[in-house]
Structure 1
Amino acid sequence: MTQYIIYFNQQWVGHHSDDWFANRGPLAAAVVDEMKNAGVYVFAGGLHDIDTAFHADATSGTVKITDGPYAPAEAYLGGLTVVDVPDLEEAKRWAGKLAEACGWPQEVRRVE
């Protein structure tokens, strides 16, 4: 089996009403439950706003912890799911289920 990360950037979510999000939450939770029942679930979670991020940098030879993202970016990670599946096609299938449930795109990359 191989692990894949399925993730989205917060900017892909778009602007929606609270009701829209309330209706999507149970759909996404159902896909995660389906992953658990299928035995492919490793981890899933949404991330807090980028304003709560901090970073650790040891490139100077001394570790420095600083509030905020490491570098400003137009896009930042909004959430992720890790699955352990037999092949890329199965990872794509789960990504499609998440994309449909969430209502925004998902990207898939193999974890090594």
Structure 2
Amino acid sequence: MAEYLIYFNQQWVGDHTEEWFRGRGPLVMAVLAEMKEAGSYVFAGGLEEDGPVFSADATSGTVLVTDGPFVETTEFLGGFTVVDAADDETAKMWAGRIAEACGWPQEVRRFQRTPQDS
């Protein structure tokens, strides 16, 4: 088994009505319930779009924590799910299920194996 990150950038969501978003919630919750039942669910969550953002930078030799993103960008992470999947095909299946439920694209990346996992 390997852990995969399934994620989306906030800009991929698109403009929708509040009613549309409320209708997606039960669909997403159903997929997460399926993941839990299958033993694949590790974590899922959306990030606050207007919440606080902090950056920590230690490249100068001293840790500097500032408000705001490290670099200005037009795209930022909107939310993510971590799944434990037997293989790439299973991870892609979960990403597809989430994309259908949410109504916007998802990307999938496998976490690097740590030395103790090898």
When the two structures are superposed, what TM-score results if normalisation uses the length of structure 1?
0.97
Q: Is 2:59 the counterpart of 1:39?
A: no
CA distance in 2, matches of 1:30, 1:52: 29
Can you list the C-alpha shifts for 1:21-66, whole angstroms capped at 9, x where unaligned?
A: 0000110111011100100001100001155211100001000110
Opposite residue 97 of structure 2, the aligned amino acid is K
- Give the TM-score normalised by the residue count of structure 2: 0.92
Q: How many residues align?
A: 112
Gaps of 5+ in 2: 113-118
In the TM superposition, structure 1's runs of 4+ consecutive aligned residues that sit over 4 Å from their partners are none
Hey, what does 2:13 align to over in structure 1?
Answer: 13
SS for the counterpart of 2:69 is coil
- Helix, strand or coil at the partner of 2:81: strand
Instruction: For 1:89, give the aligned amino acid.
Output: E
Q: Given that residues 31 and 97 in structure 1 are in contact (C-alpha distance below 8 angstroms), is that contact kept between their aligned partners in structure 2?
A: yes
Q: Output the amino acid matched with 1:69.
A: P
CA RMSD of aligned residues (A): 0.9
CA–CA distance in structure 1, aligned partners of residues 64 and 54 of structure 2: 10
Instruction: Give, as a single letter, the amino acid of the residue that structure 1 aligns with 2:54.
Output: F
Q: Does the aligned pair in 2 maintain the 1:50–1:76 contact within 8 Å?
A: no
Question: Where does 1:88-107 land on structure 2 (aligned, <5 Å)?
Answer: 88-107=88-107
The percentage of aligned residue pairs carrying the same residue is: 63
Gaps of 5+ in 1: none
Distance (whole Å) between structure 1 residues aligned to residue 94 and residue 50 of structure 2: 26
